[in-house]
Amino acid sequence: MPLELWNEGLAKSAILDFVKRVTDRDGPDFVPIPERIAVFDNDGTLWSEFPMQTQVFFLFDRLHQLAEVNPTLKDDAIFSAFFSGDNEKILALGKEGILKAFAATHAGMTEEAFGEVAQAWLKAAKHPDNHRLFANNVYQPQLELLEYLRENGFKTFIVSGGGLDLIRAFSEAAYGIPPEHVIGSSFRTELVEEGDGVTLTKTGELQSFDDRETKVVNIGLHIGRRPILVAGNSDGDFAMMRYALAGKGPSLALLVHHDDGEREFVYDRQFKLSALNEALDRADELGIKVISMKRDWQRIYP
Amino acid sequence: MPLELWNEGLAKSAILDFVKRVTDRDGPDFVPIPERIAVFDNDGTLWSEFPMQTQVFFLFDRLHQLAEVNPTLKDDAIFSAFFSGDNEKILALGKEGILKAFAATHAGMTEEAFGEVAQAWLKAAKHPDNHRLFANNVYQPQLELLEYLRENGFKTFIVSGGGLDLIRAFSEAAYGIPPEHVIGSSFRTELVEEGDGVTLTKTGELQSFDDRETKVVNIGLHIGRRPILVAGNSDGDFAMMRYALAGKGPSLALLVHHDDGEREFVYDRQFKLSALNEALDRADELGIKVISMKRDWQRIYP
């Protein structure tokens, strides 16, 4: 039986019904395989993002490493919030402010060197509250859903506000989603000469903050087809939900609601780094299916 | 036998040898399937681009259509070269100038409406010299190569200086390359409200001119992995050839040389819209394999 980790309920039946309809070659809602595009937000949708996104913890550790080599970093106005140890100051930077600090920290590195640093960090770093490897804070029912969709001819993509390269460092191993199916916030890169050849180096400049409307713009740029399935957990995902739901054929929008304080975290409207308000308020009106982590998922983590 | 449309020679044996090495699980040059990334330029590499790229003919026809509705278009300084009927004036705009005119022509259209216009045009429009449908001016030996690579676990991408959306309108049918595997010059899009939902609309602004170094930057953004095989036909493809050849593992760069005046066209250094100089001059030094269309291909078109 598919989706064994999903409890019987509205969310599970909406997914099963949708997949049945779009794969039924003789039915009115059949969607040819190449058009079965499913996009998933990452932070809070595929893995935990509370009290701060994994990327923020990564940045925090990187800054401390870099400050050992270059102590003047601690005086930098952009980075001082991270060295203060005051979470409120970090949160006050907002998701885009954090991304800018993230970009500045990695300027001058080659793409490949950054990938190695990120992979090494993910193999060792643990969440301060649940003491699990961040890489193990993925949601097992979502892994099952991704696999189920791919078995049914869907292509699965990540469309995240987080930095593209950090996600690419683990998405293939964690989710079965290869780098070319990851869309995220990006930093400008440039070509530099390296021996007889060339390589790509990161600059400190944020190129695209992949949030809200920009998620849809980047789906257009990278995929070139309107998704028929969207999963998200915040207002940052609301524009892409509306984009999918406005397609001509069948579509499904899933909204993960963090309502399980025992097994994960409870948050929505007040979460400064990625609030959920409008998408929740308008879910019924627009036909967005809310996933209750508490009721709908038998298990959270692997 | 693979590559039946390729004559025995250095190009064919380089390809067969390369694919054999990267797929030999016990050999020193084995490349895991997810890393078998192959990128192809489009104009002049997968289909004919002489005396002007297909996109220029499309733009020409579109401008005449649009001028019927809006005659003042003929007075526009940007477009006047196209209405003059003087090819030299059009060529003098350069590839980027033509792209800007292309962008301006389609501002305000939804992505989906543009796709329909482009598909309809490609079903009817013919090349002025060989009187074939543009869509049939694809190179049959390259179709065979793309298929052969995919059978051997490669993912095949287009990385073109041409406009992304025009290529996406035919790449899946013509090459078996889906929209999400097409990288090209792009125009900024924006989200507009449409009933209860949203849609993507093209603006008149060129966002990325996907040529030379920018091809590598866009490979980083869209694919996130260094390709191991690159095929091109002009200096616009030279940076991505060098990028692939500088990778740590095995790599192959292929350069299509237009030297067949009987079956196609003869051009290289003098072609204003996409000249071939440096890549040809340095091919031997860097190990780039030159494909002679005259000697290496048994047939050109389907």
d(CA B52, CA B49): 5
d(CA B148, CA B66): 42
d(CA B18, CA B29): 9
Nearest to A240 by CA among A274, A232, A248: A232
**Chain segment B133-171, per-residue pLDDT in tens:** 999 999 999 999 999 999 999 999 999 999 999 999 999
CB contact under 8 A, B224 and A112: no
**What pLDDT is stored for residue A137 in this prediction?**
97
Per the CB < 8 A criterion, the answer to whether B263 and B300 are in contact is yes
**Mean pLDDT, residues B90-109 taken together:** 86
Where are the alpha helices (H) located in chain B, listed in sequence order? Answer: 10-23, 54-69, 80-84, 87-92, 94-105, 111-124, 140-151, 164-168, 171-175, 213-222, 238-245, 278-281, 283-286, 293-296
Residue A224, amino acid: G
Task: Judge whether residue A78 has pLDDT over 80.
Answer: no
**CB neighbour class for B61 (10 Å; exposed up to 12, middle 13-18, buried from 19):** middle
**How sure is the predictor about A85, in pLDDT bands with cuts at 50, 70 and 90?**
confident
**How sure is the predictor about A103, in pLDDT bands with cuts at 50, 70 and 90?**
confident
**How sure is the predictor about A166, in pLDDT bands with cuts at 50, 70 and 90?**
very high
**What pLDDT is stored for residue B195 in this prediction?**
82
Minimum distance, in Å, between the CA of residue B217 and any CA atom of chain A: 6
**Mean pLDDT, residues B17-31 taken together:** 98
Angle of helix A94-105 versus helix A77-84 axis, rounded to 10: 110
Nearest to B157 by CA among B142, B146, B143, B169: B146
Least confident among A40-49, A220-229, A282-291, B194-203 = B194-203
Instruction: Name which residue leads in pLDDT, B78 or A190.
Output: A190
CB contact under 8 A, A197 and B245: yes
Give chain B's largest Cα–Cα span: 67
- Strand-pairing partners, residue B138, are B47
Mean predicted lDDT score pLDDT of chain A: 95
ipTM surpasses 0.85: yes
**Mean pLDDT, residues A287-293 taken together:** 98
Give chain A's largest Cα–Cα span: 67
**How sure is the predictor about B240, in pLDDT bands with cuts at 50, 70 and 90?**
very high
Task: Judge whether residue B202 has pLDDT over 80.
Answer: yes
Which backbone phi and psi does A98 adopt, to 5 degrees? Answer: -65, -40
| A-B Cβ pairs (cutoff 8 Å, strict) | 112
Looking at chain A, the whole-number percentage of residues with pLDDT higher than 70 is 100
Which residues 6+ apart lie within 8 Å of B83 measured at CB? B63, B67, B74
Interfacial residues of A (vs B; Cβ cutoff 8 Å): 34, 37, 111-112, 155, 157, 164-165, 168, 172, 178-182, 186, 188-191, 194-200, 213, 216-217, 220-226, 239, 242-243, 245-246, 286
| Closest chain B residue to the Cα of A37, Cα to Cα | B180
CB contact under 8 A, B172 and A34: yes
Q: Put residue A70 in one of left, alpha, beta given phi > 0 → left and psi -120 to 50 → alpha.
A: beta
The beta-carbon contacts of A1-5 under 8 Å, at least 24 apart in sequence, are A2/A144, A2/A148, A3/A141, A3/A144, A3/A145, A3/A148, A4/A144, A4/A298, A5/A140, A5/A141, A5/A144, A5/A297, A5/A298, A5/A299
Nearest to A184 by CA among A208, A203, A204: A208
**Chain segment B72-97, per-residue pLDDT in tens:** 888 887 788 888 878 888 888 888 88
Instruction: Name which residue leads in pLDDT, A66 or B252.
Output: B252
Residues of B in contact with A156 (CB under 8 A): none
The two tokens of residue B183 are: 């990288």
**How sure is the predictor about A92, in pLDDT bands with cuts at 50, 70 and 90?**
confident
**How sure is the predictor about A275, in pLDDT bands with cuts at 50, 70 and 90?**
very high
Instruction: Name which residue leads in pLDDT, B277 or A95.
Output: B277
d(CA B54, CA A20): 41
Asked whether the bond before B28 is cis by omega within 30 degrees of 0, the reply is no
Per the CB < 8 A criterion, the answer to whether A156 and A174 are in contact is no
Which residues 6+ apart lie within 8 Å of B28 measured at CB? none
The two tokens of residue A28 are: 């009115």
Looking at chain B, the whole-number percentage of residues with pLDDT higher than 70 is 100
Mean predicted lDDT score pLDDT of chain B: 95
**Residue with the two structure tokens 């696999």:** A147
**What pLDDT is stored for residue B18 in this prediction?**
98
Residues of B in contact with A186 (CB under 8 A): 221
**Chain segment A214-244, per-residue pLDDT in tens:** 999 999 999 999 999 999 999 999 999 999 9
**What pLDDT is stored for residue A76 in this prediction?**
81
Residue A124, amino acid: A
Looking at chain B, the whole-number percentage of residues with pLDDT higher than 90 is 81
Mutate to test the interface with A, among B39, B156, B180, B219 (most CBs of A within 10 A): B180
Residues of B in contact with A226 (CB under 8 A): 112
Q: Tell me how crowded residue A295 is: count the other CB atoms within 10 A of its CB.
A: 14
Residues of B in contact with A220 (CB under 8 A): 111, 189, 200
Nearest to A64 by CA among A82, A51, A77: A82
Considering CB atoms only, which of B37, B165, B216 is closest to A191? B216
Residues of B in contact with A249 (CB under 8 A): none
Nearest to A216 by CA among B183, B201, B217, B218: B201
The two tokens of residue A67 are: 């400050």
**Mean pLDDT, residues A157-163 taken together:** 97
Task: Give the distance from CA A108 to its chain's centroid.
Answer: 25
CB contact under 8 A, B198 and A216: yes
Q: Put residue A202 in one of left, alpha, beta given phi > 0 → left and psi -120 to 50 → alpha.
A: beta
Residues of B in contact with A155 (CB under 8 A): 180
Q: Tell me how crowded residue A195 is: count the other CB atoms within 10 A of its CB.
A: 7
Mutate to test the interface with B, among A190, A221, A241, A251 (most CBs of B within 10 A): A221
Q: What number of residues does chain B have?
A: 302
CB contact under 8 A, B180 and A155: yes
**Chain segment A245-267, per-residue pLDDT in tens:** 999 999 999 999 999 999 999 99
**Chain segment B120-132, per-residue pLDDT in tens:** 999 999 999 999 9
